[in-house]
Amino acid sequence: MNQPDPDPDDRALAARALAGQQSAYAALMQRHRDAVYRIIRGHIGDGDEALDITQETFVAAFAALARYDDARPFRIWIARIALNKCRDWARRRAVRRFFAFARPIDDALDIADSAATPEEALGSQHALARINAAIAALPANLKDVLLLRTIEQMSQAEAAQVLGVTEKAVETRLYRARAKLTEILRD
């Protein structure tokens, strides 16, 4: 594909700028700043931000001037840099917006996943198995009261009806069941 000839003035200015001639930098900036500003302003929509990004574009372009291919038009090269700066700005803005709405890390404790980690779950399974084994080791009359009152959450009167004993007997057996369970689990 046949490329249009680069503007010889831009090519010459770029060469002189690379040689350290400050006036060549100024001439390139003066020649292309309005077009670069328009591209950036159209891309991001904010005039003040566009001025800052235009300045960043020229700083980056002049820092990379040694990589400029003078077989291509300078305006295309600088426009590409301007668009990259717009993309960088958009990414930074997205990050700033994210952190602007982010809550302090301490607040994350309230919204963090309360599910157990695999290690905690395994530990809980072992603890549960141990408790179940301890309950199973209780005498039947103590085990039944414990299960009805604590697991099934029956009232004392309901447990008494199910077991056919007095409420006082349920209270006594529950006390003994808890004491025996504590003793078994302590060992």
What is the pLDDT, as a whole number, of residue 12? 92
> Do 39 and 72 sit in the same domain of this protein?
yes
Query: In angstroms, rounded to a whole number, what is the distance separating the alpha carbons of residues 54 and 30?
Result: 12
Asked if 123 and 72 sit in the same domain, the reply is no
Give 135-149 pLDDT, tens digit per residue: 878 887 898 888 788
110 within domain boundaries = no
Asked, for residue 52, whether it belongs to a domain, the answer is yes
Q: Would 15 be classed as within a structural domain?
A: yes
Number of domains in the chain: 2
In a domain, 77, yes or no: yes
In a shared domain, residues 27 and 77? yes
Q: What is the DSSP string of 100-132?
A: HHPPPHHHHHHHS--SPPHHHHHHHHHHHHHHH
Cβ atoms of 62 and 16 within 8 Å: the answer is: no
| Residue 3 belongs to some domain of the structure | no
Q: Give a yes or no: residue 68 inside a domain.
A: yes
Are 30 and 74 part of one and the same domain?
A: yes
pLDDT at 58: 94
pLDDT band at 110 (very low <50, low <70, confident <90, very high): low
* pLDDT at residue 108 tops 70: no
pLDDT, average across residues 105-134: 71
Mean pLDDT of 23-37: 92
What confidence score (pLDDT) does residue 2 get?
A: 44
Model confidence band, residue 6 (pLDDT cutoffs 50, 70, 90):
very low
> Global pTM?
0.50
CATH code of 155's domain: 1.10.10.10
Higher per-residue confidence, 52 vs 8: 52
User: Residue 147's CB: how many other CB atoms inside 10 A?
Assistant: 15
Tell me, yes or no, whether 76 lies in a domain.
yes
Note whether 97 and 123 are same-domain residues.
no
Residues 47 and 97 in one domain: yes
pLDDT tens for residues 123-139? 778 887 888 788 878 88
**CATH code, domain with 38:** 1.10.1740.10
Q: Which of 59, 68, 55, 81 is nearest to 16 (CA)?
A: 68
| Alpha-carbon gap, residue 25 to 87, rounded angstroms | 25
In a domain, 26, yes or no: yes
Residue 170: predicted pLDDT:
92
Boundaries of domain holding 163: 119-186
Residue-wise pLDDT tens digits, 87-100: 898 888 877 777 66
